[in-house]
Structure 1
């Protein structure tokens, strides 16, 4: 009888721990998540230990304003630890799009360890914070798979395995709750549209095959997402209850934005999911880029900020849904 009572008490304690309120979110990724780290790197100020994000008006994210983790912190009253860096990949060794040591599994994880691990011990309560990873766009995009520039010995499976191994490595240092965000439908962006016209991210029409890129922008994200979803199930079996990994279907969420825009975009003009605010009339020189004909009060009508990046309003919608995911209430 004594053993049964002790077992019951232990079960109650474990269940209570697993229902602790999330107080902090650690984020890893690329320009879809980065607030200001990439700009700090570009300005020669390395964003090392205890780096403080720089927000508008002093600096602007790839949304043209605040990035979605900022709003997630507000909506959920979370402490936000954002390690994402624009232009980054999961591993520079697998898809070396850049030489900057700020990849997810390398530099970004190193920053997290510097901030939150002391003498090998995680300082955050593992039941009170969640690790969110959102990558893949640069790993498979231009200068990599979509433009057929990937290394000969690298496959899509290597890209997804990197993300899964990153979660394993975070689990090894004590993290226990994870959300893996899937890739978005890149074929909806202007960069990967079925056209041979240049953009600020690939200004020269030479070397661009709009039709092929458009098809690849559909194919690669869907392949990555299938591998990630299967991998999440595998990790949950592997952890044997010592951690919980959830898959967030960002792809379907963006399809929802695209197909039902009036529910999500509330600027002063009709919702727009095909155009974008930030305009670059000379794609060869970013100095000419500006907000264009999109006024400040019109910005929240747009799904996209530029040829690749979601708008700030899209970021608010992402943050609201991730908050639901953390609460266990999201259908995505």
Structure 2
């Protein structure tokens, strides 16, 4: 084991240097575009478009509006840095519907997934400009500069939640390893389309979210996202903690293996953003991140709805949104999205606080 680490160490030291230029591959002034995939933590209005159009996805190149509820981290990043944002995330999405399909009657099918819906929606743009070799295989000519475009993937909240792994509702025989493998399958698809700057987020500490928390005052017996929630909050929080920590540990070790040992992405630069640590830091020190003019706990949330989702109201009449860590039972507040955006910008600069970097410069 020691011999392996000694062999690997020089590769890790060089991971922040681009062999072709001698410069770091992660520097904000290198980037012009951010392309995002994920779930409701990133979506702006793609799912709403599908609801409004009988389940039909937006045509390629459709420019969708921002969310009217709150501005998410990706939009903040784009606004703060001037990056062009192309957002393919869909609320309710999982990594693959072959692992954790979740029905959504309003679009007459399952929630769209990253692997079967979002990336194909993006890939159409790459494939329409493809040329073909003598055997008929496409030769991609991506419609972007691969060195100036960052591709991000933030998904997992639904994969590990109710109607999925948390409630043993996944496809028979599927395990957490299938979910993490799906993340790399998604990166495979993006890499094949020409992506070379890949930003992957690990999972948030969902056991702290009011929907899953073991907190007598702030967790809920039932929510609009989980009307049939069991009463044993302790069991729910413990299982969620086990799942998210297990997934993050897999990613912690699998990522350097795939990039440096298996050399799965030659010439690519992969960063893992530690969303778990950032959200945990906010929870542990809310005064350091939130406006504490209103005395609230980190587990409080602002937007309350009944189980049917028909009657909703804001705490304090929406006068103190920056005091809350959570917007509702499951989603971060607008203030937390701004904090995430701030740290993502730092990660794009190549700073190490919440990001780990791996490069195969071949």
TM-score (norm 2): 0.81
Give every structure 1 segment of 4 or more consecutive aligned residues whose post-TM-superposition deviation is greater than 3 Å: 11-20, 98-101
Find the aligned partners of 2:291 and 2:23 in 1 and give their Cα distance: 40
Measured on the aligned residues, the alpha-carbon RMSD in Å equals 2.1
**Aligned to 2:116, which of 73, 83, 106?**
106
Cα separation, partners in 2 of 1:111 and 1:209, compared to 1, 3 Å: same
Match of 2:251 among 228, 237, 246: 228
**Partner SS, residue 73 of structure 1:** helix
Aligned length: 312
Q: 1:176 to 1:199 in 2, by over 3 A?
A: same
SS of equivalent to 1:295: helix
Answering whether residue 289 of structure 2 is matched by residue 264 of structure 1, we say yes
SS of 2:303's equivalent?
coil
- Distance in 2 (alpha carbons) for counterparts of 1:157 and 1:227: 8
Determine if the alignment matches structure 1 residue 66 to structure 2 residue 71: yes
Match of 1:36 among 18, 21, 45: 45
CA change 1:53–1:294 in 2 (3 A) is farther
Shift of the alpha carbon at 1:128? 0.2
Greater mean alpha carbon deviation, residues 179-188 or residues 19-28: 19-28
Instruction: Quote how far apart the aligned CAs of 1:14 are.
Output: 4.0
Structure 1 residues without counterparts, runs of 5 or longer: 1-10
User: Residue 286 of structure 1: CA displacement?
Assistant: 0.9
* 1:218 alignment partner, one of 241, 249, 255: 241
Q: Residue 264 and residue 53 in structure 1: after superposition, are their counterparts in 2 closer, same or farther (change >3 A)?
A: farther
Is structure 2 residue 70 aligned with structure 1 residue 26? no
Aligned residue among 182, 190, 210 for 2:210: 190
Gap runs ≥5 in structure 2: 1-17, 104-108, 131-139, 355-362
Q: Paired residue for 1:251? A: 276
Is the 8 Å Cα contact of residues 265 and 271 (structure 1) preserved in structure 2? no
TM-superposed CA distance for 1:270, in Å, is 3.6
Shift of 1:124: 0.7
Give 1:298's match in structure 2, choosing from 313, 320, 339: 320
Match in the other structure for 1:307:
329
CA separation in 1, counterparts of 2:23 and 2:299? 46
Distance 2:267 2:210 in 1: 42
| Corresponding position of 2:88 | 83
Do the aligned partners of 1:268 and 1:297 also contact (CA within 8 Å) in 2?
no
**Cα deviation 1:175-206 (Å, max 9, x = unaligned):** 0011110101111111102267111211235x
**TM-score computed with the length of structure 1 as normaliser:** 0.88
Q: Does 174-183 or 110-119 show the bigger shift?
A: 110-119
